[in-house]
Amino acid sequence: MSDTEDPEELLSRKHKRERKELQAHIQKLKHSVPKGDKKKKKEVTEQIANLERDLDERQEAESQELKTTVEVSNVAERLEALDTTDAETTSDNTTGSACAAIGQEEKKLSKAQKRRNKKLVKDREREEEIKQQDIKNLSGARHIELQKVKEALKRQNLQIFEIKSDGNCLYNAVNHQLAKNGRSSSNEALRDQVSKYMKEYRDEFLPFLTKDNGDMFTEDDFEKYCHDTAHTTAWGGQLEVRALSQTLKQPIRVVQSEGPPVVVGEEFGNDDQPCIVLCYLRHAFGLGEHYNSVEDL
């Protein structure tokens, strides 16, 4: 590339290349939408609109920055010209006034350029974050796992019913299933039942609980665990699923991305006590695992 190449031409070529890359990325996003998945299609459509808007804004900022740079460069050339012809100037006052005026113009442009540069840096960082997140969303474990769970549910004529991720996801999902079957409960009631059952049958649960460092739970650790289960938003897992099945006297089937569904409490299965169906996502959120309920497709 020549050092004398027109900056405007360079920027124009860069913008064309970026738009071409964006179009290729958009095609990948469109192809990632499963056929008939209206919700995913809407999400991807909004994502594409955001990407196009961000590119337009960033390229406009770059064009403005280049324009400002050219203006500042012109001012500098005028100042240099004044310096070289200062000896020939007939009036020092006139020259001084001209330099002051041009200096003010340069100062004003410099402040404007600083603001634009700051915005440009933020726009570039945001665009890069969006681009990286798009790649992760399409090829990451979360996206792959979610698609597998959706396919597994679809074969059973079911779909995901979203549950808020607030520590109560297991209990909220079970509550949703109970309501579908004409029963009602609450997080507090379910947590209390689970806590009491685990303490009553501690030998069935204590051996499976370990600390972060791998050490086994002590009796005090177990008491605190049961207390937190009943009185906080402590996350519930497979042990709590087992306790819920026993206290509710209902089987619970957990659909996951790998392997067949895990069924707990099969001994309770009958027409009067239909199976509670949940779906488990290991990579749903940055904080860890998550349970959703299901509904008819």
Cβ partners under 8 Å of residue 262, min gap 6: 238, 253, 254, 256
Query: Mean pLDDT, to the nearest integer, of 195-218?
Result: 92
User: Tokens 């009943």 correspond to what residue?
Assistant: 230
Q: Which residues pair with 210 in a beta bridge?
A: 216
Specify the pLDDT at position 87: 47
Give the HSE-up count for residue 44: Cα atoms under 13 Å, Cβ half-sphere: 19
- What average pLDDT does this structure show over 229-252? 94
Most confident of 3-7, 128-132, 178-182: 178-182
Q: Which helix (H) or strand (E) holds 245?
A: helix 238-248
% of the chain residues with pLDDT over 70: 77
Residue 154 CA, chain-centre distance (Å), reads 25
pLDDT in the model for residue 211: 87
pLDDT at 58 (0 to 100): 84
CA distance 162 to 146: 12
- Render pLDDT for 9-51 as a digit per residue (tens, 0 to 9): 888 888 888 888 888 888 877 877 777 777 778 887 888 888 8
Catalytic residue numbers?
Answer: 166, 169, 290
Q: What is the pLDDT of residue 62?
A: 81
Instruction: Specify the residue for token string 């006139």.
Output: 94
Q: Tell me the C-alpha distance between 236 and 291, whole Å.
A: 9
Residue 196 structure tokens: 């009491």
pLDDT confidence bin for 53, thresholds 50/70/90: confident
- pLDDT in the model for residue 70: 66
* pLDDT of residue 217 exceeding 80: yes
d(CA 104, CA 112): 13
> What residue has token string 């460092």?
213
Whether the per-residue pLDDT at 102 is higher than 70: the answer is no
- What is the percentage of the chain residues whose pLDDT exceeds 90? 31
pLDDT of 137 reads 55
